[in-house]
Amino acid sequence: MVRGEKVQQFDLIVIGSGSGLDVANAIAQQGLKVAIIEKGPLGGTCLNRGCIPSKMLIHSADVVETINSAHLFGIKTKGYEIDFASIVSRVNEIVDNDAKAIENGLKGIDNPLLFKEECKFISHKTLQVGQETLKAEKILIASGGRPKIPNIEGLMESGFITSDEALRLKTQPKVLTILGGGYIAAELAHFFGSLGTRINIVHRHRLLIPNEDEEVANAFTEIYRQRYKIFTGFQATKVSKKGEDYEVSIISIDGNESTTLRSDQLLIATGRTPDSDELDIDKTNVKTDQQGFIITNEYLETNVKGVFALGDAVGHFLFKHSANLEAQYDFNNILDPQKKIAIDYTAMPHAIFGSPQIAGVGKTERELRAERADYVVGRYNYIDTAMGEAIEDRTGFVKILLDGKTRKILGCHIMGTDASTLIHEVLVAMKSGDGSARNLTRTVHIHPALSEVVARAASNIQIHAHDE
């Protein structure tokens, strides 16, 4: 391929190098001519600004928590020292090397052909990429998203950070104010707080992580309230900078309380928004919803035939594993449009790597009540198992929501040690056989492994637990 042609024609153009890169490589291996466009580091949000660096950093916080709880197990530690710069530099060196390795691998080949530029649609299925024009009958938009910034007086000129910058800070904040109370706030509060930063969290909802099952959100909020200064039911009205310090004016939603928080760092963690607005996709007639997410059908195809999307650009689920799933369907539906397959999101899980960990799948009890569903609850505490007692997890529990008649698993919510791992037992049960709790209760569990808590939850049915 010789660059600089008036219009370069491809069979497929992929915008974004996260899960979109998997589709680009797979389609290219089928002999079709593919372009991959990426304005930033290769590997997408997860590798560079999301799940990979954040979880690596959080592991350092988990290690600190292990040290701090060692006395519970008869181990006396003589202290330790936090080398914050080393923690961050280790993670970013690994991430940057991985991104560079992906880029170097693509630079040596012509298919898929890498364009390291910003791009915008200029007409139907036609993109301006730097100084060049690319066109294809099929296009995959996997452009990802970015932190959403709220409209608060003084915020834009204050020098705040988002999760993007928080993962690369070279100096540990002494006091960190976080605006937002979702999963990003929960995870970064754990990271910085466990390393010794004093944390303020301001969240307009009554509970932190409010999209979780209410019992989980209640328990999690109370645990964090014991460690950090939590202002739930509050919103920020003004941000100002006094020297090196931030002053954040907050007021309760009911207007009865107000105060000013001071900190040396301010983190905005109020959600994410898609990058579709930066692509001028209206020039190729692709429709978006009111939040800017690209509207797709069950085949992940937009209203424009031959234009597909996935991941944060679509916003069905803002997870890397959901984007990977969508990439598999996009590959099939782009390659074989006569045999398109509707995507199956059954048992799509999620996890929050705070402390404690949270994991969930399926319906919450709040949703089932709203639907007036006939359901029962299976519940069990970690501490009531042998391994739960061994590891001193006194707040963890597993909650399984089952159809009242068939005992089919409708949802599962776990808070506690290794929740992100334990949930997989339930995922397999939901996808296999009849999808019922019998898949859990009939399985022999190793004693005294922690996974016993899942099996016992499935057996410990509370018929009237949801009656109100």
Active site residues: 447
**What is the Cα–Cα distance from 415 to 395, expressed in whole angstroms?**
8
User: How many Cα atoms sit within 13 Å of 378 on the Cβ side?
Assistant: 25
Write out the two tokens for 247: 């002053």
Angle, CA of 146, 148 and 151, to the nearest 5°: 150
Contact partners, residue 230, CB within 8 Å, separation at least 6: 201, 203, 208, 221, 224
Compute the CA torsion angle 365, 368, 374, 379 (nearest 10 deg).
Answer: -20
**What is the Cα–Cα distance from 205 to 234, expressed in whole angstroms?**
7
Q: Phi first, then psi: what are they for 145, rounded to 5°?
A: -150, -175
Whether the bond between 448 and the residue before it is cis, its omega within 30 degrees of 0, is yes
Contact partners, residue 67, CB within 8 Å, separation at least 6: 77, 80
Strands 397-403 and 375-381, by their bridges, are antiparallel
List the beta bridge partners of residue 398.
380, 414
Number of neighbouring beta carbons within 10 Å of residue 407: 21
Question: What phi-psi label fits residue 81: left (phi over 0), alpha (psi between -120 and 50 degrees) or beta?
Answer: beta
What's the sign of the alpha-carbon dihedral 456, 458, 464, 466? positive
